[in-house]
């Protein structure tokens, strides 16, 4: 009989170890689940979802201004002209759509700006960049007056021809 008791002891010890291992694994799984739930609930309460991180920049939206602008110049007794295609860069489609309503005013102001320049002043890369900055300021001024905000980040020259 001693032999049969010895045989049952290792089998019972193996089953007992398996039961303990299963119980420990279940307790560990429950603990991890509770901990993860607490962590996510706590972090959700401390950070509202509606807050927009100011360090994250919204994707740019580009709106071409068609048709291209054509301006005639009289330089040194010769007829010269400038043709420039422009695109507005913005971050909010709704604001850009609201600004499109005022496109006749924007185009008028830009034609007046371009006509007031001299051919020699826009013939250099520095002069062209200054003209682009003036065009940006002109569009932003209309947006500020009509919509109460700047709307357009910058105006880009996508084609610039002098002849």
Q: Quick check: 114 and 82 in contact, CB under 8 A?
A: yes
Give the whole-angstrom CA distance, residue 129 versus residue 133. 6
Q: How far is CA 124 from the centre of its chain?
A: 32
Residue 144 in 3-state DSSP?
helix
Q: What is the mean pLDDT of each run of 10 residues along the chain (163 residues)?
A: 56 81 82 75 58 74 94 91 95 93 95 94 94 96 93 95 93
**Amino acid 44: pLDDT:** 55
Burial of 55: CB neighbours in 10 Å, binned 0-12, 13-18, 19+: exposed
Q: What is the pLDDT of residue 29?
A: 77
Instruction: Please name the helix (run of DSSP H) or strand (run of DSSP E) that holds residue 30, with its range, or none.
Output: helix 2-46
The pLDDT value recorded for residue 117 is 93
Report the distance separating Cα 48 and Cα 87, nearest Å. 36
pTM above 0.75, yes or no: no
Phi-psi region of 57 (alpha: psi -120 to 50; beta: other; left: phi over 0): beta
Helix (H) or strand (E) holding 6, with range, is helix 2-46
> How many whole angstroms separate alpha carbon 102 and alpha carbon 104?
6
Length of the chain, in residues:
163
- Residue 22's pLDDT is what? 87
Say if strands 152-162 and 78-90 run parallel, antiparallel, or are unpaired.
antiparallel
Note the pLDDT of residue 154. 95
CB-side exposure of 117: number of CA atoms within 13 Å? Answer: 26
């Amino acid at each position: 009989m001693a032999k049969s008791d010895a045989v049952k002891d290792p089998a019972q010890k193996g089953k007992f170890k398996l039961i303990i291992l299963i119980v420990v694994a279940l307790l560990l799984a429950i603990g991890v689940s509770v901990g993860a739930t607490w962590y996510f609930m706590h972090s959700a309460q401390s950070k509202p979802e509606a807050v927009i991180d100011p360090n994250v920049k919204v994707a740019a939206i580009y709106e071409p201004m068609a048709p291209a602008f054509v301006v005639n110049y009289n330089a040194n007794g010769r007829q010269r002209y400038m043709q420039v295609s422009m695109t507005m860069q913005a971050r909010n489609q709704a604001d850009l759509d609201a600004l499109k309503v005022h496109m006749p005013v924007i185009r008028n102001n830009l034609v007046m700006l371009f006509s007031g320049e001299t051919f020699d002043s826009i013939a250099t890369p520095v002069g062209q960049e200054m003209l682009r900055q003036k065009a940006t300021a002109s569009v932003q001024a209309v947006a500020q007056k009509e919509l109460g905000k700047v709307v357009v980040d910058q105006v880009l020259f996508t084609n610039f021809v002098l002849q």
